[in-house]
Amino acid sequence: MRWILLLVLSVSLPAMAELEYSLKPRQIAEDTWLLEGSTDNFNKANGGNIVNTAFIVTEQGVVVIDTGPSKRYGEAMRKTIAAITDKPVIQVFLTHHHPDHVLGNQAFADVPIGALAATTELLHQQGDAMAENMYRMVGDWMRGTEVVLPNQVVTPGVHSFGNHDLRVLGLGGHTAADLAILDQRTGVLFAGDLVFYHGFWSLTNCYLLFIAHKSDTYLI
Ligand SMILES: [Zn+2]
């Protein structure tokens, strides 16, 4: 019986291992961590991880910027955050409604998920179709993923979390509603997909985060 179990494990483990995002957090400024995605288009090798997400560990708790392309990614992101800090996640901001930025929302269902009002409306209108498209493109990585709409309307202005004053900017250009966040403590600008560098881009496939840090400028 045992060898049968081992045989089953040996067959199934590699398949499971292939579906791990293996997120590697990179500290880019004080309290600020980047999870950098692939610059390829969506495919079954990257599981839709063509997005840059980020989190800020404030005194008050963790602020997350975008939740990634799938439930599995969102869960991996929470584990990654928990490995960095024991502070709770207290806020999620979504930069825009594209699937690689919002389909990890399920993993943050216990946290306020904030977006511009128009972003929520766009996700309401297009979310299911975008999720179906993601299932077609990346397959099993998406298993169990459902669209979760934001539950908080974010207005432009300064929102403070611990010692980080985050200036929320209501913009447009990549989509009809793009939210950018300037952390006034570190000078990091989280621009969602408003800025691209060395990557694939189309209206539905996008990946980048722009970072300006004090006198230096980083495009990552
Ligand atoms: Zn986008």
d(CA 137, CA 118): 26
> Is 11 part of a structural domain of the chain?
no
Closest-CA residue to 115 (of 159, 85, 83, 84): 159
| Gap from CA of 97 to ligand 1 centroid (Å) | 7
CA dihedral defined by 79, 105, 30, 37, rounded to 10 degrees? 80
| Gap from CA of 13 to ligand 1 centroid (Å) | 33
For residue 153, give the 3-state DSSP assignment: strand
What is the reported pTM?
Answer: 0.84
Residue positions counted in the chain: 220
> Is 4 part of a structural domain of the chain?
no
> Is 8 part of a structural domain of the chain?
no
The whole-number pLDDT of residue 220 equals 37
How many domains does one find in the chain? 1
CB atoms under 10 Å from CB of 106, counted, come to: 17
| Gap from CA of 139 to ligand 1 centroid (Å) | 20
Structure tokens at 60: 């008050």
> Is 161 part of a structural domain of the chain?
yes
> Is 145 part of a structural domain of the chain?
yes
**Residue 184 in contact with residue 191, Cβ under 8 Å?**
no
Q: Where are the alpha helices (DSSP H) in the chain?
A: 2-18, 71-84, 99-102, 117-138
| Gap from CA of 203 to ligand 1 centroid (Å) | 7
- Ion ligand 1 contact residues with beta carbon within 5 A: 98, 193, 206
| Gap from CA of 59 to ligand 1 centroid (Å) | 30
Distance (Å) of CA 185 to CA 43, 153, 181: 37, 24, 12
| Gap from CA of 37 to ligand 1 centroid (Å) | 13
- Name the residue range of residue 181's domain: 22-219
The whole-number pLDDT of residue 154 equals 98
| Gap from CA of 7 to ligand 1 centroid (Å) | 43
What letter would DSSP give residue 88? P
| Gap from CA of 101 to ligand 1 centroid (Å) | 7
pLDDT by 10-residue block (mean), the chain, 220 residues: 49 60 95 93 91 96 98 97 98 97 98 98 97 95 97 98 97 94 95 70 40 42
Q: Which CATH number fits the domain that encloses residue 54?
A: 3.60.15.10
> Is 82 part of a structural domain of the chain?
yes
> Is 118 part of a structural domain of the chain?
yes
Residues facing residue 189 across a β-bridge: 182
> Is 164 part of a structural domain of the chain?
yes
